[in-house]
């Protein structure tokens, strides 16, 4: 029976370990996180591991060579609980593989559309979508004291009307 196991990788070598395991015919996975940074005044986007130094692998516990996996380049070893290797529930892996952390550009409203904000101080405040501001943020017009104010918010904080 196939189960997902948790591996500990050498620092910043998750991708290397994944490629080497896939070359051995082993299904390997680690979720990525998109981060936005300002470098020299320019927005840059970088993908990094959601769980640094960890990798999930699907193995058949009956006929798998666990020592070959432990000796794969980039892998430090299995995460264990007592004497047994840590098994990860299939449902958790499915959730991690299907997570969509940000609205895609095609999911964003069009200019002039009404939206609601989901974040703390502007919860349920109605705004007008103006334009995207990079891949992860958008510019909205909010009516405050009878004046339209431009604000920039995370795309995750926008909810379309209707």
**Alpha-carbon distances of 82 from 14, 32, 85, rounded to whole Å:** 24, 29, 8
Q: What is the pLDDT of residues 22-62, one digit of tens each?
A: 999 999 999 887 776 667 767 677 778 888 999 999 999 88
- Are the C-beta atoms of 128 and 114 separated by less than 8 Å? yes
Please, which residues bridge with residue 55 across strands?
7
CA 86-48-89 angle, 5° bins: 25
DSSP labels for 27-53? EEE--EEEEEEEETTEEEEEEEESSTT
- With a pLDDT cut of 70, the percent of the chain lying above it is 87
**pTM tops 0.75:** no
Q: Up-side HSE of residue 133: CA atoms within 13 Å toward CB? A: 14
Question: What is the band of 77 on the pLDDT scale with cuts at 50, 70, 90?
Answer: very high
CATH of domain 2-98: 3.30.70.940
Q: What is the pLDDT of residues 98-108, one digit of tens each?
A: 865 544 445 67
Task: Tell me the average pLDDT of the chain.
Answer: 83
For 1, counting Cβ atoms within 10 Å of its Cβ (0-12 exposed, 13-18 middle, 19+ buried), the class is: exposed
User: What pLDDT was estimated at residue 100?
Assistant: 57
Out of 2.30.30.30, 3.30.499.10, 3.40.50.2000, 2.60.200.20, the CATH code matching 105-160 is: 2.30.30.30
Q: What mean pLDDT is predicted for residues 81-100?
A: 85
114 versus 10: the higher-pLDDT residue is: 10
Q: Where are the domains of the chain?
A: 2-98, 105-160
């Amino acid at each position: 029976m196939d189960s997902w196991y948790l591996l500990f990788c050498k620092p910043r070598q998750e991708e290397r370990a994944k490629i080497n395991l896939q070359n051995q015919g082993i299904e390997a996975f680690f979720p990525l996180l998109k981060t936005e940074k300002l470098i020299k005044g320019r927005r840059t986007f970088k993908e990094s591991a959601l769980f640094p130094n960890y990798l999930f692998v699907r193995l058949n516990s009956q006929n798998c060579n666990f020592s070959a996996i432990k000796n794969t380049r980039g892998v430090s070893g299995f995460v264990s609980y007592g004497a047994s290797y840590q098994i990860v529930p299939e449902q958790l892996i499915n959730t991690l593989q299907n997570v969509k952390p940000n609205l895609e550009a095609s999911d964003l409203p069009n200019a002039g559309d009404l939206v609601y904000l989901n974040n703390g101080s502007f919860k349920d405040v109605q705004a007008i979508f103006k334009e995207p501001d990079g891949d992860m943020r958008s510019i909205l017009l909010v009516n405050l004291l009878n004046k339209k104010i431009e604000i920039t918010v995370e795309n995750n904080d926008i909810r379309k009307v209707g």
